[in-house]
Amino acid sequence: MGSVWQPSVVRAPHGPHPHGAHRGWAIRGTGSYLPARRVPSRELSRSLGLGPSWIEERTGIRHRHVAEPGQASSDLAAAAADRALARAGVSAADIGLIVLGTSTPDELGPSTACRVQALLGAGRAAAFDVSAACTGFVYGLSAAVGWLAGRPDPAPHALVIGVEVYSRFLDSGDRATSALFGDGAAAAVIGPVAAPYGIGPVTLGSDGSRAGDVLIPAGGSRDPASAGTVAGHRHTIHMDGRAVRDFITEMFPRLVAGAAEDAGIKPADLALVVPHQPNPRLVASLAGEAGLDPAQLVIAGQDVGNIGAASLPYALDRAVREERIAPGDLVLLAGFGAGVTWGRALIAWPPPGPHSPG
């Protein structure tokens, strides 16, 4: 790997970690779920009055998945979480915390995480949502690691989930949004690991002055639901495509450079970079500017579209299933989204064990 970087580790507050080692936190299992219905870009292009290859040529997206009527975010999230738990070898009873990132909750309240807790039967778990749009998984990871670090031994595990059912919030005539978004969920089980493996410091950021770049204008306390908001399509995603493109072009190389500088490594030392990918073709085109070889990127958006908070963990789960990650690899998670928000986490991937994704 050519790097001596190690994640910061946390000593258990109620005594040393078993075997005398400092305790860190690692991703012990991943899982994802996509609805059965798949809509090809060629079919969607025709419905939007576009040429058959218009969407794929501009975005790289070949198809996206769409939830069935009555299938909510919590249903997708619970299915992804079940798969992550199985891969980690952990039961729902072992989960002490569920953090769920979404922009498309089941309802405004209670949290979708509470719905998922009930579906999983994770009765010991505290559960809450984070609203950080497409950066939601990285924000959730930060919350989970901070919470786990304060637990006494033996520490429980945490579930971090990203999920979206964007199809409920799209104007079918708006090609700027309908061409990009899909439905899906992905999850990760977080648990203890001995040094030198685990999740390093998670860096988060936001710039609320750009909140209008991507939003669902109505349905909240500022613009409550009414006949007028429904007629005006104000419960659907509104997006300034140029502003979003500029943000991605600026932010992704910054996240890679910041992670490398903080860790004292070069971008070439990263085994994999797992980015959010609202437009997979655009993100892939930024590899050189970020100092990366294209082979270092995990690009999965061509098969699912932009699935928001689930985008990054879905790509990570895919990399795990395709055996692209080896023990000791440095893996960078790089998220960015509406708000605007951004976040990154550098992980020294753990070796296989009784509770690991190997």
Secondary structure in 3-state letters for 198-228 = EEEEEEEEECHHHHHHEECCCCCCCCCCCHH
| Options 157, 276, 279, 355, the catalytic residue | 276
Gap between the Cα atoms of 101 and 105, Å rounded: 9
Amino acid residing at 253: P
Asked if 279 is an active-site residue, the reply is no
Asked if 355 is an active-site residue, the reply is no
| Options 114, 157, 306, 355, the catalytic residue | 306
Gap between the Cα atoms of 28 and 238, Å rounded: 37
Gap between the Cα atoms of 255 and 199, Å rounded: 16
Gap between the Cα atoms of 330 and 36, Å rounded: 33
In the structure encoding, which two tokens stand for residue 89, read together?
Answer: 């070898």
SS3 (DSSP) at 184: strand
Neighbours of 252 (CB within 10 A): 26
DSSP string, 19-83: GG--EEEEEEEEEEE--SEEEEHHHHHHHTT--TTHHHHHH---EEEEPPTT--HHHHHHHHHHH
DSSP string, 78-144: HHHHHHHHHHHT--GGGEEEEEEE-SS-SSSSS-HHHHHHHHHT-TT-EEEEE--GGGHHHHHHHHH
Gap between the Cα atoms of 180 and 63, Å rounded: 9
**Alpha-carbon radius of gyration of the chain:** 20
| Options 114, 134, 157, 355, the catalytic residue | 134
Gap between the Cα atoms of 258 and 252, Å rounded: 10
Query: H-type helices in 265-353, by residue range?
Result: 280-285, 311-321
SS3 (DSSP) at 261: helix
Asked if 114 is an active-site residue, the reply is no
- The catalytic residues are 134, 276, 306
